[in-house]
Each structure stands twice: as C-alpha cells, then as structure tokens.
Amino acid sequence: MNSKIAVLSYLNLEVLNKAADEISQKTGNTVLPIAADVRDIEAIQGAVDKCEHSFGLPNIIINNAAGNFISPTERLSANAWKTITDIVLNGTANVTLEIGKRLIEAKQAAAFLSITTIYTMSGSGFVVPSASAKSGVETLSLSLASEWGRYGLRFNCIAPGPIETKGAFSRLDPTGSFKKAVKKRIPVGRLGKPEELANLALYLVSDYSNWVTGAVFRFDGGEYPSMAGEFNSLLDITPEQWDMMENMIRKVKGS
Ligand code: HXC
C-alpha cells in the first residue's frame, strides 16, 4: 500500500526535508514537507490548504509540537510564558480546530493524537508554563472527544515520561544529572525510546483502537507510580537490614 503522508512541522525546513526524505526512502510513501509555525494561524490554514489540495483532508492528526526549558518560575518574563504556552496549547488548538472544522464540514472521520507529558498528572515546578499548557492540551482533547465524537472524530493523548531527544534534553537536563538518576526513578531501568512511543501512537491512530477516545495514556516505564509510592525508597534496604527490621516488627504485639 502506498499511503500519502503530510508532514507539518516547526519552521526549520532543512530538518523537515531531511525527515521527509528519510521516511520516503524507508517506506516508499509520498511525503509532503510543509514548514509552518503552529503559533501562526494563517500559516496553519495555508498548510492545511496545501495538504487538502494535494491529497485531501488527513484522517490522522498528531499534535507533537512543544517548547520547554527548565527555569525557576520567578525568573520567567511574560514573553517566556507566552512563548511556551503559544506553542504547546494555542499551537495544538490552531491545528486541531482548523482541521476539525474542515473534517466536520466534509463529514470525514479522523483520529487525533496529542503528545503531552507525564507531569500533567502531578504538576511540576521549574517547567510551569509547559505543565500548564500540556494540561490544557489534555483537557482540550477530553472535551472534544465528548463534543465531536458524533462527527466520527476521536481524540486521545499519550503522556510520556523522559524520552531522550536532543531538543528536550539540551533544555531539560543541561548537566546530565537527571539522566544519571534515571535508573532509580524508572522501574524499567532506562529512558524511553522514540520508537516505543511510535508503537503506541500507531495503535491509537489505527482502526485497532476505534473504541478508544477521550483517553490519556501514561507512558513512562513505571516512573510515575515509582516516584509517588510512599514506601518505594525501601528498594535500597539490604536483605540483612530486612532481617533486622522483620525481627523488630514481629516483636511488636498489640496496638
Ligand atoms: C528563562 C528563557 C529561557 C531560559 C528562553 N527564555 N529560554 N527564559 N530561561 N532558559 C525566554 C526568552 O528570554 C524570551 O523572553 C522567551 O523565553 C522566548 O525565547 P526565544 O528564544 O526568543 O524563543 P523561541 O526561539 O521562539 O523559542 C525557543 C524555545 C525553545 C521554545 C524557548 O525552548 C525551543 O525551541 N524549544 C523547542 C524544542 C523543545 O523545547 N522541545 C522539548 C519539548 S519536551 P524575553 O522576555 O527575553 O523576550 C517537553 C516534555 C518534556 O516539553 C517531558 C519530560 C518528562
């Protein structure tokens, strides 16, 4: 099968062309690279026009654009806040609403998938614009799953834990200390791989998941429960220490 793919990306056409060539060579599929800034609604409208004229409206839409860096919140300017939330929340809304409205008009079904982050569940200091905006993306997705399900549109999210990419890690782990501590935080014992995220994404945009909508999938090698669990630090206790503690516990009688 030779399916056609539209690639919509951030401004960097050079990176985009390289990715398009790579996908074309590996799959034999037609790839249309369209550079557009998700913050710019006119650019998004133009990109969707181009996609529609080339091979129709898409039936799979993946919102993956993100911007983020670690910083104490009191150091953020208004423009720093705006930059991140414009990319993450407004960018996702720009793409989703532009394509969604056209799909409704055309009576065409589709699957939307947004990539968020594990810390929407807890919030997180030092990435507050990203945490706030990604939570907004999840709420947008849950809301539209309810409202636009009647048009045959599905909306799901994947909330990943740490997956090493240059864009993210250069801004979120500039010293490498997070990566060093990762084995302790993640029961699977390593960072996630982009291919592993792609596997779940593929399922969620395929017909195998036609009954799945309005869902957020935590995808983190077990990091979230591992960090939250009250007694998980007991993993450091040696068998000898357990012998001693078990003795102490067994000696306790009554309340
Ligand atoms: C404080 C900063 C800053 C920093 C930028 N700003 N970096 N403030 N500390 N380290 C401020 C600037 O001073 C400016 O405000 C405003 O933010 C915009 O900065 P620009 O550099 O002009 O913005 P721009 O080039 O448009 O945006 C770049 C970016 C950058 C969004 C800030 O991070 C980026 O390009 N990121 C894309 C890739 C990425 O981040 N991917 C990671 C996503 S991963 P002033 O007031 O000075 O004008 C993710 C999930 C992680 O989000 C999950 C982990 C578990």
Mean pLDDT, the chain, as a whole number?
Answer: 93
* Cβ neighbours for 252, distance < 8 A, ≥ 6 positions apart: none
Candidate from 64, 68, 130 with most ligand 1 atoms within 8 A of CB, to mutate: 68
Share of the chain above pLDDT 90, in %: 78
Helix (H, G, I), strand (E, B) or coil at 15: helix
**67 touches ligand 1 (CB under 6 Å):** yes
Share of the chain above pLDDT 70, in %: 96
Q: What is the CA radius of gyration of the chain?
A: 22
pLDDT digit string, tens, across residues 140-169: 999 999 999 999 999 999 999 999 888 778
The interface pTM score, or ipTM, of the predicted complex is 0.93
Q: For residue 83, how far is its CA from the centre of ligand 1 (angstroms)? A: 7
Q: Which stretch of 90-94, 172-176, 223-227, 247-251 has the lowest confidence by average pLDDT?
A: 172-176
**171 touches ligand 1 (CB under 6 Å):** yes
pLDDT digit string, tens, across residues 100-141: 999 999 999 999 999 999 999 999 999 999 999 999 999 999
pLDDT digit string, tens, across residues 11-62: 788 888 998 899 889 988 889 999 999 999 999 999 999 999 988 999 999 9
Length of the chain: 255
Helix (H, G, I), strand (E, B) or coil at 216: strand
Q: For residue 239, how far is its CA from the centre of ligand 1 (angstroms)? A: 46
> Any idea which residue has 């030779």 for tokens?
2
Give the Cα separation of 136 and 119 in Å (integer).
12
Give the Cα separation of 93 and 39 in Å (integer).
9
**166 touches ligand 1 (CB under 6 Å):** no
Q: For residue 70, how far is its CA from the centre of ligand 1 (angstroms)? A: 9
- Burial annotation 203-225 (CB, 10 A radius, 16+ → b, else e): ebbeeebeeebeebbbbbbebbe
- DSSP H or E stretch at residue 18: helix 13-27
**137 touches ligand 1 (CB under 6 Å):** no
List, by residue number, the catalytic residues: 119
- DSSP H or E stretch at residue 47: helix 41-55
